Structure 1
Amino acid sequence: MAMQNWKFIVEPAQAGLRLDQLVSVCTGLSRRHAREVLKLGGVQVAQKRVRVASRTVAPGVEVRVAVDDSLGALPDFEVPVVYEDEWLLVVNKPAGMPTQGTQASDRHDLLALLGRQRPGQKLILCHRLDQGTSGVLVLAKDKAGDLGRHFQERTLRKVYLARVDRPVEAVEVDRPIGRLRLAKPARFGCEGDLLEPKPSQTLLRPAAPQEVAGLTPGYWVVAEPRTGRTHQIRVHLASLGAPVVGDGLYGGASSEQLWLHAWKLVLNHPVTGQSLELVAEPARFLEKA
Protein backbone atom coordinates (compact mmCIF):
# COMPACT_ATOMS: atom_id res chain seq x y z
CA MET A 1 0.00 0.00 0.00
CA ALA A 2 1.43 3.36 -1.06
CA MET A 3 0.54 5.24 2.13
CA GLN A 4 2.05 8.58 3.12
CA ASN A 5 1.36 10.51 6.31
CA TRP A 6 2.18 14.03 7.48
CA LYS A 7 1.53 15.78 10.79
CA PHE A 8 2.28 19.44 11.43
CA ILE A 9 1.33 22.39 13.62
CA VAL A 10 0.10 25.52 11.84
CA GLU A 11 2.54 28.40 12.23
CA PRO A 12 1.39 32.02 12.65
CA ALA A 13 2.60 32.93 9.15
CA GLN A 14 0.45 30.13 7.66
CA ALA A 15 -2.80 31.03 9.41
CA GLY A 16 -4.21 32.99 6.45
CA LEU A 17 -3.71 30.20 3.92
CA ARG A 18 -6.61 28.22 2.51
CA LEU A 19 -6.52 24.62 3.70
CA ASP A 20 -5.65 23.28 0.24
CA GLN A 21 -2.75 25.77 0.08
CA LEU A 22 -1.63 24.86 3.59
CA VAL A 23 -1.64 21.14 2.80
CA SER A 24 0.29 21.76 -0.42
CA VAL A 25 2.93 23.91 1.31
CA CYS A 26 3.45 21.50 4.20
CA THR A 27 3.42 18.21 2.24
CA GLY A 28 4.76 19.06 -1.21
CA LEU A 29 1.55 17.85 -2.85
CA SER A 30 0.17 19.93 -5.70
CA ARG A 31 -2.86 22.13 -4.95
CA ARG A 32 -4.96 19.88 -7.17
CA HIS A 33 -3.81 16.75 -5.36
CA ALA A 34 -4.43 18.45 -2.01
CA ARG A 35 -8.05 19.16 -3.01
CA GLU A 36 -8.52 15.51 -4.02
CA VAL A 37 -7.18 14.38 -0.66
CA LEU A 38 -9.58 16.75 1.09
CA LYS A 39 -12.56 15.35 -0.84
CA LEU A 40 -11.66 11.80 0.21
CA GLY A 41 -11.48 12.77 3.87
CA GLY A 42 -7.71 12.42 4.13
CA VAL A 43 -7.20 15.68 6.06
CA GLN A 44 -7.89 16.04 9.78
CA VAL A 45 -7.82 19.36 11.61
CA ALA A 46 -7.69 18.98 15.40
CA GLN A 47 -8.49 15.26 14.88
CA LYS A 48 -11.66 15.93 12.86
CA ARG A 49 -12.02 15.29 9.12
CA VAL A 50 -12.32 18.46 7.07
CA ARG A 51 -13.21 18.65 3.37
CA VAL A 52 -13.57 22.42 2.82
CA ALA A 53 -10.61 23.59 0.73
CA SER A 54 -11.24 27.27 1.49
CA ARG A 55 -11.13 26.87 5.27
CA THR A 56 -8.35 28.57 7.22
CA VAL A 57 -6.76 27.10 10.35
CA ALA A 58 -5.67 28.99 13.48
CA PRO A 59 -2.03 28.97 14.56
CA GLY A 60 -1.03 26.14 16.89
CA VAL A 61 -3.66 23.71 15.56
CA GLU A 62 -2.52 20.24 14.53
CA VAL A 63 -3.20 19.08 10.97
CA ARG A 64 -2.82 15.50 9.78
CA VAL A 65 -2.75 14.43 6.14
CA ALA A 66 -2.93 10.85 4.83
CA VAL A 67 -2.59 9.84 1.18
CA ASP A 68 -3.08 6.31 -0.15
CA ASP A 69 -2.24 6.15 -3.86
CA SER A 70 -3.54 2.58 -4.10
CA LEU A 71 -7.18 3.51 -3.43
CA GLY A 72 -8.32 3.83 -7.03
CA ALA A 73 -11.93 4.57 -8.02
CA LEU A 74 -14.74 4.46 -5.49
CA PRO A 75 -16.00 0.87 -5.12
CA ASP A 76 -19.32 0.15 -6.78
CA PHE A 77 -20.60 -3.42 -6.55
CA GLU A 78 -23.39 -5.34 -4.87
CA VAL A 79 -22.38 -6.61 -1.45
CA PRO A 80 -23.79 -10.12 -0.83
CA VAL A 81 -26.58 -10.05 1.77
CA VAL A 82 -26.62 -12.95 4.24
CA TYR A 83 -29.74 -11.88 6.16
CA GLU A 84 -32.01 -8.86 6.31
CA ASP A 85 -35.15 -7.88 8.16
CA GLU A 86 -36.69 -4.73 9.63
CA TRP A 87 -33.89 -4.33 12.18
CA LEU A 88 -30.76 -6.05 10.84
CA LEU A 89 -28.63 -6.09 7.70
CA VAL A 90 -26.04 -8.88 7.63
CA VAL A 91 -23.60 -8.98 4.72
CA ASN A 92 -20.68 -11.08 3.52
CA LYS A 93 -17.89 -8.52 3.69
CA PRO A 94 -15.43 -8.72 0.79
CA ALA A 95 -11.77 -9.28 1.62
CA GLY A 96 -9.42 -6.35 1.06
CA MET A 97 -12.01 -3.70 1.93
CA PRO A 98 -11.91 -1.79 5.22
CA THR A 99 -15.05 -2.01 7.31
CA GLN A 100 -15.10 1.73 7.95
CA GLY A 101 -13.09 4.79 6.97
CA THR A 102 -9.31 4.84 7.10
CA GLN A 103 -6.97 7.78 7.68
CA ALA A 104 -6.80 8.41 3.93
CA SER A 105 -10.46 7.99 2.97
CA ASP A 106 -13.92 7.53 4.41
CA ARG A 107 -15.38 6.81 0.96
CA HIS A 108 -13.66 3.53 0.00
CA ASP A 109 -14.92 1.43 2.91
CA LEU A 110 -17.85 -0.97 3.21
CA LEU A 111 -19.95 1.32 5.39
CA ALA A 112 -19.58 4.16 2.87
CA LEU A 113 -20.44 1.86 -0.05
CA LEU A 114 -23.62 0.65 1.67
CA GLY A 115 -24.49 4.25 2.49
CA ARG A 116 -24.32 5.20 -1.20
CA GLN A 117 -26.43 2.20 -2.19
CA ARG A 118 -29.03 2.80 0.53
CA PRO A 119 -29.48 6.59 0.62
CA GLY A 120 -31.51 7.82 3.54
CA GLN A 121 -30.97 4.64 5.58
CA LYS A 122 -28.75 5.12 8.62
CA LEU A 123 -26.78 1.96 9.31
CA ILE A 124 -25.16 1.26 12.68
CA LEU A 125 -21.96 -0.79 12.57
CA CYS A 126 -22.22 -3.44 15.30
CA HIS A 127 -18.63 -4.73 15.03
CA ARG A 128 -15.67 -4.74 12.65
CA LEU A 129 -13.56 -7.15 10.61
CA ASP A 130 -9.94 -6.62 9.60
CA GLN A 131 -9.46 -5.29 6.08
CA GLY A 132 -8.10 -8.60 4.78
CA THR A 133 -10.82 -10.69 6.44
CA SER A 134 -14.05 -11.58 4.66
CA GLY A 135 -17.33 -12.88 6.05
CA VAL A 136 -20.28 -12.19 8.32
CA LEU A 137 -20.65 -8.53 9.22
CA VAL A 138 -23.68 -7.20 11.11
CA LEU A 139 -25.20 -3.74 10.80
CA ALA A 140 -28.31 -2.47 12.55
CA LYS A 141 -30.99 -0.56 10.68
CA ASP A 142 -32.15 1.17 13.87
CA LYS A 143 -31.14 1.34 17.52
CA ALA A 144 -33.39 -1.57 18.50
CA GLY A 145 -31.29 -3.86 16.32
CA ASP A 146 -27.89 -2.67 17.56
CA LEU A 147 -25.94 -5.74 18.61
CA GLY A 148 -22.91 -3.79 19.80
CA ARG A 149 -23.55 -4.63 23.45
CA HIS A 150 -23.91 -8.34 22.59
CA PHE A 151 -20.47 -8.32 20.96
CA GLN A 152 -18.97 -6.52 23.95
CA GLU A 153 -20.58 -8.88 26.46
CA ARG A 154 -19.80 -11.95 24.30
CA THR A 155 -23.36 -13.28 24.34
CA LEU A 156 -23.04 -14.56 20.78
CA ARG A 157 -20.88 -17.21 19.12
CA LYS A 158 -18.37 -16.32 16.41
CA VAL A 159 -16.84 -19.00 14.18
CA TYR A 160 -13.98 -18.36 11.73
CA LEU A 161 -12.18 -20.43 9.11
CA ALA A 162 -8.43 -19.98 8.70
CA ARG A 163 -5.88 -21.70 6.49
CA VAL A 164 -2.45 -22.20 8.05
CA ASP A 165 0.76 -23.78 6.78
CA ARG A 166 1.06 -26.59 9.31
CA PRO A 167 -1.36 -28.78 11.33
CA VAL A 168 -2.91 -27.36 14.50
CA GLU A 169 -4.32 -29.67 17.15
CA ALA A 170 -7.50 -28.91 19.05
CA VAL A 171 -6.55 -26.47 21.79
CA GLU A 172 -7.83 -23.55 23.83
CA VAL A 173 -5.33 -20.71 23.62
CA ASP A 174 -5.56 -18.61 26.78
CA ARG A 175 -2.84 -15.99 26.41
CA PRO A 176 -3.12 -12.22 27.01
CA ILE A 177 -2.74 -9.98 23.97
CA GLY A 178 -1.27 -6.49 23.96
CA ARG A 179 0.15 -4.04 21.49
CA LEU A 180 3.90 -4.41 20.93
CA ARG A 181 5.62 -1.22 22.07
CA LEU A 182 7.27 0.77 19.26
CA ALA A 183 6.26 -1.78 16.57
CA LYS A 184 5.80 -0.20 13.15
CA PRO A 185 3.48 -1.04 11.56
CA ALA A 186 1.39 -1.60 14.67
CA ARG A 187 1.36 -5.23 15.76
CA PHE A 188 0.01 -7.22 18.69
CA GLY A 189 1.47 -10.17 20.52
CA CYS A 190 1.31 -12.56 23.46
CA GLU A 191 4.86 -11.96 24.65
CA GLY A 192 7.53 -9.28 24.59
CA ASP A 193 7.19 -5.62 25.57
CA LEU A 194 3.40 -5.35 25.51
CA LEU A 195 1.24 -2.31 26.17
CA GLU A 196 -1.80 -3.08 28.34
CA PRO A 197 -2.08 -6.83 27.66
CA LYS A 198 -5.62 -8.13 28.17
CA PRO A 199 -6.96 -11.65 28.74
CA SER A 200 -7.71 -13.41 25.45
CA GLN A 201 -9.13 -16.85 24.74
CA THR A 202 -9.57 -18.66 21.41
CA LEU A 203 -10.80 -22.20 20.79
CA LEU A 204 -9.02 -23.86 17.87
CA ARG A 205 -9.57 -27.22 16.15
CA PRO A 206 -8.81 -28.79 12.79
CA ALA A 207 -11.69 -28.33 10.32
CA ALA A 208 -13.62 -31.50 9.54
CA PRO A 209 -13.34 -32.69 5.90
CA GLN A 210 -17.02 -31.96 5.22
CA GLU A 211 -16.62 -28.40 6.52
CA VAL A 212 -13.97 -27.52 3.93
CA ALA A 213 -15.10 -29.74 1.04
CA GLY A 214 -14.50 -27.90 -2.22
CA LEU A 215 -12.06 -25.42 -0.70
CA THR A 216 -8.42 -25.13 -1.76
CA PRO A 217 -6.59 -28.03 -0.08
CA GLY A 218 -4.48 -27.19 2.96
CA TYR A 219 -4.46 -27.12 6.72
CA TRP A 220 -7.77 -25.56 7.72
CA VAL A 221 -8.58 -24.48 11.25
CA VAL A 222 -11.91 -23.57 12.86
CA ALA A 223 -11.43 -20.75 15.36
CA GLU A 224 -13.89 -19.49 17.96
CA PRO A 225 -12.72 -16.35 19.74
CA ARG A 226 -14.16 -16.06 23.24
CA THR A 227 -12.85 -12.51 23.60
CA GLY A 228 -12.64 -9.66 21.11
CA ARG A 229 -9.06 -8.42 20.94
CA THR A 230 -7.56 -6.77 17.86
CA HIS A 231 -6.08 -9.40 15.50
CA GLN A 232 -6.88 -12.04 18.12
CA ILE A 233 -7.11 -15.15 15.92
CA ARG A 234 -4.10 -14.06 13.87
CA VAL A 235 -1.99 -13.44 16.97
CA HIS A 236 -2.98 -16.65 18.75
CA LEU A 237 -2.30 -18.80 15.68
CA ALA A 238 1.06 -17.07 15.21
CA SER A 239 1.86 -17.77 18.87
CA LEU A 240 1.47 -21.49 18.08
CA GLY A 241 3.88 -21.21 15.15
CA ALA A 242 1.02 -21.55 12.65
CA PRO A 243 0.20 -18.05 11.35
CA VAL A 244 -2.60 -17.53 8.86
CA VAL A 245 -1.48 -17.95 5.26
CA GLY A 246 -1.07 -14.52 3.67
CA ASP A 247 -0.63 -12.77 7.01
CA GLY A 248 2.65 -10.98 6.40
CA LEU A 249 2.25 -8.95 9.59
CA TYR A 250 2.55 -12.09 11.74
CA GLY A 251 4.84 -14.27 9.66
CA GLY A 252 2.32 -16.11 7.51
CA ALA A 253 3.28 -17.80 4.25
CA SER A 254 3.24 -15.47 1.25
CA SER A 255 -0.08 -15.12 -0.56
CA GLU A 256 -2.05 -12.45 -2.41
CA GLN A 257 -4.84 -12.72 0.16
CA LEU A 258 -5.36 -13.28 3.87
CA TRP A 259 -6.86 -16.74 4.36
CA LEU A 260 -9.20 -15.80 7.18
CA HIS A 261 -12.99 -15.75 6.97
CA ALA A 262 -15.73 -14.91 9.48
CA TRP A 263 -17.80 -17.98 8.70
CA LYS A 264 -20.70 -18.14 11.17
CA LEU A 265 -22.40 -16.02 13.78
CA VAL A 266 -24.89 -17.60 16.20
CA LEU A 267 -27.08 -15.27 18.25
CA ASN A 268 -30.52 -14.44 19.51
CA HIS A 269 -32.26 -11.72 17.53
CA PRO A 270 -32.06 -8.47 19.55
CA VAL A 271 -35.77 -7.71 18.99
CA THR A 272 -37.64 -10.97 18.36
CA GLY A 273 -35.40 -13.26 20.43
CA GLN A 274 -35.32 -15.75 17.54
CA SER A 275 -32.24 -17.96 17.40
CA LEU A 276 -30.22 -17.17 14.27
CA GLU A 277 -27.27 -18.91 12.66
CA LEU A 278 -25.86 -16.53 10.07
CA VAL A 279 -23.52 -18.19 7.58
CA ALA A 280 -21.31 -16.51 4.96
CA GLU A 281 -19.95 -19.08 2.53
CA PRO A 282 -16.17 -18.71 1.93
CA ALA A 283 -16.54 -18.54 -1.85
CA ARG A 284 -13.16 -16.87 -2.40
CA PHE A 285 -11.43 -19.99 -1.09
CA LEU A 286 -13.07 -22.44 -3.48
CA GLU A 287 -10.65 -24.70 -5.30
CA LYS A 288 -10.10 -23.51 -8.85
CA ALA A 289 -10.70 -25.99 -11.63
Structure 2
Amino acid sequence: MQTLVLVAEHPDFLVLNKPCGLNFHTEDGALGLVELAKLQFAMPLWPVHRLDKLTSGLLLLAKTKQAASEFQELFSQGQVDKYYLAIASAKPKKKQGLIKGDMLKARNGSWKLAKTSNKPAITQFFSYAVQAKRRLFLLKPRTGRTHQLRVALKSLGSPILGDQRYAGEAAERGYLHAYALHFVWHGEPQSFIAEENLDGEFAATAMAEQIRLLAKPWDIPFPRLGAN
Protein backbone atom coordinates (compact mmCIF):
# COMPACT_ATOMS: atom_id res chain seq x y z
CA MET A 1 0.00 0.00 0.00
CA GLN A 2 1.30 3.42 -0.94
CA THR A 3 2.34 5.55 2.05
CA LEU A 4 1.03 9.12 2.02
CA VAL A 5 3.08 12.06 3.29
CA LEU A 6 1.49 13.82 6.27
CA VAL A 7 2.23 17.55 6.17
CA ALA A 8 0.27 18.51 9.29
CA GLU A 9 -2.35 17.17 11.67
CA HIS A 10 -4.97 19.29 13.41
CA PRO A 11 -7.73 18.06 15.76
CA ASP A 12 -10.20 18.78 12.93
CA PHE A 13 -8.28 17.86 9.77
CA LEU A 14 -5.25 16.32 8.09
CA VAL A 15 -3.07 18.01 5.48
CA LEU A 16 -1.55 15.48 3.08
CA ASN A 17 0.86 15.76 0.17
CA LYS A 18 -0.61 13.82 -2.74
CA PRO A 19 1.86 12.21 -5.15
CA CYS A 20 1.49 12.81 -8.87
CA GLY A 21 -0.26 9.93 -10.63
CA LEU A 22 -2.48 8.85 -7.71
CA ASN A 23 -6.21 8.89 -8.30
CA PHE A 24 -8.30 10.83 -5.82
CA HIS A 25 -11.07 8.22 -5.78
CA THR A 26 -10.82 4.43 -5.99
CA GLU A 27 -10.95 3.32 -9.63
CA ASP A 28 -10.77 -0.13 -11.23
CA GLY A 29 -9.95 -1.74 -7.91
CA ALA A 30 -6.98 0.55 -7.20
CA LEU A 31 -7.43 2.44 -3.95
CA GLY A 32 -7.63 6.20 -4.32
CA LEU A 33 -6.14 8.78 -1.99
CA VAL A 34 -9.15 9.05 0.31
CA GLU A 35 -9.37 5.31 0.97
CA LEU A 36 -5.59 5.03 1.36
CA ALA A 37 -5.66 7.83 3.93
CA LYS A 38 -8.47 6.18 5.91
CA LEU A 39 -6.42 2.97 6.10
CA GLN A 40 -3.06 4.62 6.82
CA PHE A 41 -4.34 6.89 9.58
CA ALA A 42 -6.99 4.46 10.87
CA MET A 43 -9.78 7.01 11.11
CA PRO A 44 -12.85 8.15 9.18
CA LEU A 45 -12.01 11.06 6.86
CA TRP A 46 -14.09 13.34 4.63
CA PRO A 47 -12.80 14.96 1.44
CA VAL A 48 -13.51 18.70 1.14
CA HIS A 49 -11.77 19.43 -2.19
CA ARG A 50 -9.91 17.35 -4.75
CA LEU A 51 -6.89 17.19 -7.04
CA ASP A 52 -6.58 15.66 -10.50
CA LYS A 53 -4.57 12.47 -10.90
CA LEU A 54 -1.91 14.50 -12.73
CA THR A 55 -1.57 17.02 -9.88
CA SER A 56 0.62 16.58 -6.79
CA GLY A 57 0.55 18.56 -3.56
CA LEU A 58 -1.58 19.72 -0.66
CA LEU A 59 -4.93 18.16 0.10
CA LEU A 60 -7.20 18.66 3.13
CA LEU A 61 -9.24 15.85 4.65
CA ALA A 62 -11.68 16.59 7.46
CA LYS A 63 -11.82 14.34 10.53
CA THR A 64 -15.52 14.93 11.22
CA LYS A 65 -18.70 15.61 9.26
CA GLN A 66 -18.98 18.95 11.07
CA ALA A 67 -15.47 20.00 10.01
CA ALA A 68 -16.20 18.85 6.44
CA SER A 69 -19.34 21.01 6.37
CA GLU A 70 -17.40 24.02 7.67
CA PHE A 71 -14.66 23.55 5.08
CA GLN A 72 -17.19 23.27 2.27
CA GLU A 73 -18.61 26.60 3.38
CA LEU A 74 -15.13 28.18 3.45
CA PHE A 75 -14.36 26.88 -0.03
CA SER A 76 -17.73 28.00 -1.42
CA GLN A 77 -17.13 31.52 -0.05
CA GLY A 78 -13.61 31.68 -1.51
CA GLN A 79 -12.02 31.88 1.94
CA VAL A 80 -9.38 29.20 1.31
CA ASP A 81 -6.46 30.60 -0.68
CA LYS A 82 -4.82 27.96 -2.87
CA TYR A 83 -1.52 28.43 -4.67
CA TYR A 84 -0.14 26.15 -7.37
CA LEU A 85 3.17 25.83 -9.18
CA ALA A 86 3.36 24.76 -12.82
CA ILE A 87 6.06 24.46 -15.44
CA ALA A 88 5.48 25.07 -19.15
CA SER A 89 7.81 24.93 -22.12
CA ALA A 90 6.18 27.69 -24.18
CA LYS A 91 6.15 31.44 -23.56
CA PRO A 92 2.69 32.69 -22.50
CA LYS A 93 0.69 35.35 -24.33
CA LYS A 94 1.09 37.54 -21.23
CA LYS A 95 3.49 37.23 -18.30
CA GLN A 96 1.06 37.89 -15.45
CA GLY A 97 -2.50 38.88 -14.73
CA LEU A 98 -5.89 37.25 -14.95
CA ILE A 99 -7.28 34.30 -16.93
CA LYS A 100 -11.06 34.44 -17.01
CA GLY A 101 -13.79 32.75 -19.03
CA ASP A 102 -16.57 30.19 -19.00
CA MET A 103 -15.51 26.54 -19.00
CA LEU A 104 -17.14 24.54 -21.79
CA LYS A 105 -17.07 20.78 -22.30
CA ALA A 106 -14.92 19.66 -25.21
CA ARG A 107 -14.18 16.18 -26.55
CA ASN A 108 -13.25 13.05 -24.58
CA GLY A 109 -13.66 14.55 -21.11
CA SER A 110 -11.63 17.67 -21.83
CA TRP A 111 -12.65 21.28 -21.31
CA LYS A 112 -12.01 24.58 -23.06
CA LEU A 113 -12.09 28.23 -22.08
CA ALA A 114 -14.70 30.43 -23.74
CA LYS A 115 -14.52 34.19 -24.26
CA THR A 116 -17.84 34.59 -22.43
CA SER A 117 -18.02 35.26 -18.68
CA ASN A 118 -21.48 34.16 -17.56
CA LYS A 119 -20.14 31.93 -14.77
CA PRO A 120 -16.41 32.24 -15.36
CA ALA A 121 -13.45 30.30 -14.06
CA ILE A 122 -11.00 32.86 -12.66
CA THR A 123 -7.26 32.39 -12.15
CA GLN A 124 -4.62 34.94 -11.16
CA PHE A 125 -1.01 34.23 -12.07
CA PHE A 126 2.61 35.30 -12.27
CA SER A 127 5.16 33.66 -14.55
CA TYR A 128 8.94 33.58 -14.39
CA ALA A 129 11.39 32.90 -17.22
CA VAL A 130 13.74 30.46 -15.47
CA GLN A 131 15.74 28.88 -18.26
CA ALA A 132 15.54 28.15 -21.99
CA LYS A 133 12.09 26.77 -22.87
CA ARG A 134 11.07 26.55 -19.23
CA ARG A 135 8.80 28.99 -17.45
CA LEU A 136 7.52 28.66 -13.88
CA PHE A 137 3.97 29.76 -13.05
CA LEU A 138 2.54 30.70 -9.66
CA LEU A 139 -1.22 30.26 -9.95
CA LYS A 140 -3.98 31.40 -7.61
CA PRO A 141 -7.38 30.03 -8.65
CA ARG A 142 -10.31 32.10 -7.43
CA THR A 143 -12.85 29.47 -8.52
CA GLY A 144 -12.70 25.68 -8.48
CA ARG A 145 -13.68 24.28 -11.86
CA THR A 146 -12.67 20.88 -13.24
CA HIS A 147 -9.27 21.12 -15.02
CA GLN A 148 -9.36 24.90 -14.47
CA LEU A 149 -5.62 25.52 -14.24
CA ARG A 150 -4.75 23.09 -17.01
CA VAL A 151 -7.21 24.79 -19.37
CA ALA A 152 -6.12 28.26 -18.22
CA LEU A 153 -2.48 27.67 -19.13
CA LYS A 154 -3.41 26.10 -22.45
CA SER A 155 -5.44 29.24 -23.22
CA LEU A 156 -2.27 31.30 -22.64
CA GLY A 157 -0.40 29.18 -25.18
CA SER A 158 1.65 27.59 -22.36
CA PRO A 159 0.18 24.14 -21.65
CA ILE A 160 1.57 22.42 -18.57
CA LEU A 161 4.61 20.23 -19.12
CA GLY A 162 3.53 16.59 -19.07
CA ASP A 163 -0.18 17.42 -19.53
CA GLN A 164 -0.70 15.77 -22.90
CA ARG A 165 -4.51 15.97 -22.62
CA TYR A 166 -4.10 19.72 -23.09
CA ALA A 167 -1.22 19.65 -25.58
CA GLY A 168 1.59 19.83 -23.04
CA GLU A 169 5.04 18.60 -24.00
CA ALA A 170 5.66 14.97 -23.00
CA ALA A 171 7.42 14.55 -19.64
CA GLU A 172 7.93 11.97 -16.90
CA ARG A 173 5.18 13.59 -14.78
CA GLY A 174 2.58 16.31 -14.91
CA TYR A 175 4.18 19.53 -13.70
CA LEU A 176 1.27 20.95 -11.70
CA HIS A 177 1.73 21.07 -7.93
CA ALA A 178 -0.68 22.27 -5.22
CA TYR A 179 1.99 24.23 -3.40
CA ALA A 180 0.34 26.17 -0.57
CA LEU A 181 -2.87 26.66 1.40
CA HIS A 182 -3.81 29.64 3.56
CA PHE A 183 -7.06 30.09 5.52
CA VAL A 184 -8.48 30.98 8.92
CA TRP A 185 -9.85 28.11 10.99
CA HIS A 186 -11.86 28.98 14.10
CA GLY A 187 -10.09 32.31 14.36
CA GLU A 188 -6.57 30.92 13.85
CA PRO A 189 -4.60 31.55 10.62
CA GLN A 190 -3.42 28.32 8.99
CA SER A 191 -0.65 28.19 6.37
CA PHE A 192 0.85 25.09 4.76
CA ILE A 193 3.49 24.45 2.09
CA ALA A 194 4.08 21.20 0.16
CA GLU A 195 7.81 20.88 -0.43
CA GLU A 196 7.72 17.12 -0.96
CA ASN A 197 6.96 16.01 -4.54
CA LEU A 198 8.83 18.99 -5.97
CA ASP A 199 10.90 16.54 -7.94
CA GLY A 200 12.07 16.18 -11.53
CA GLU A 201 12.29 19.57 -13.23
CA PHE A 202 10.89 21.31 -10.14
CA ALA A 203 14.17 20.33 -8.44
CA ALA A 204 16.48 21.67 -11.18
CA THR A 205 18.82 24.28 -9.70
CA ALA A 206 17.44 27.41 -11.36
CA MET A 207 13.83 26.27 -10.89
CA ALA A 208 14.36 25.39 -7.21
CA GLU A 209 15.96 28.79 -6.59
CA GLN A 210 12.94 30.57 -8.07
CA ILE A 211 10.56 28.41 -6.02
CA ARG A 212 12.44 29.33 -2.83
CA LEU A 213 11.60 32.97 -3.56
CA LEU A 214 7.92 31.99 -3.43
CA ALA A 215 8.10 30.37 0.02
CA LYS A 216 5.19 32.48 1.36
CA PRO A 217 2.88 32.97 -1.62
CA TRP A 218 0.12 34.38 0.62
CA ASP A 219 2.35 37.43 1.16
CA ILE A 220 2.72 38.10 -2.58
CA PRO A 221 0.56 41.04 -3.67
CA PHE A 222 -1.57 39.65 -6.48
CA PRO A 223 -3.37 42.34 -8.51
CA ARG A 224 -6.89 43.17 -7.41
CA LEU A 225 -9.61 41.32 -9.28
CA GLY A 226 -10.99 43.70 -11.85
CA ALA A 227 -7.63 45.47 -12.20
CA ASN A 228 -6.60 43.38 -15.23
Shorter-chain TM-score range: 0.7 to 0.9
Structure 2 unaligned regions, length at least 5: 206-228
The count of corresponding residues between Structure 1 and Structure 2 is 197
Counterpart CA distance in 1 for 2:38 and 2:190 is 25
Residue of structure 2 in register with 1:202 after alignment: 123
The 5 A counterparts of 1:135-154 are 135-146=57-68, 147-154=71-78
Counterpart CA distance in 2 for 1:77 and 1:191 is 39
Counterpart CA distance in 2 for 1:85 and 1:226 is 25
Residue of structure 2 in register with 1:219 after alignment: 135
Q: Is the alpha carbon distance of 1:278 and 1:207 closer, same or farther for their aligned partners in structure 2, counting shifts above 3 Å?
A: farther
Counting aligned pairs with the same residue, the percent is: 31
The 5 A counterparts of 1:39-78 are 76-78=1-3
TM-score (norm 2): 0.79
Q: CA deviation at 1:126?
A: 0.8
Q: Is the aligned partner of 1:165 residue 2:89?
A: yes
Work out whether residues 265 and 277 of structure 1, in 8 Å CA contact, stay in contact via their aligned partners in 2.
yes
Residue of structure 2 in register with 1:286 after alignment: 203
TM-superposition CA deviations, 1:89-109 (whole Å, max 9, x none)? 00001110011123x23x421
TM-score (norm 1): 0.63
Counterpart CA distance in 2 for 1:179 and 1:128 is 19
Q: Is the aligned partner of 1:277 residue 2:191?
A: yes
RMSD: 2.4
Work out whether residues 243 and 250 of structure 1, in 8 Å CA contact, stay in contact via their aligned partners in 2.
yes
Pick which of 110-119 and 156-165 moved more.
Answer: 110-119
SS in 1 for 2:14: strand
Structure 1 unaligned regions, length at least 5: 1-75, 210-214
SS in 1 for 2:26: coil
Q: CA deviation at 1:207?
A: 4.2
Q: Which amino acid aligns with 1:262?
A: A
SS in 2 for 1:238: helix
Q: CA deviation at 1:208?
A: 8.7
Residue of structure 1 in register with 2:180 after alignment: 264
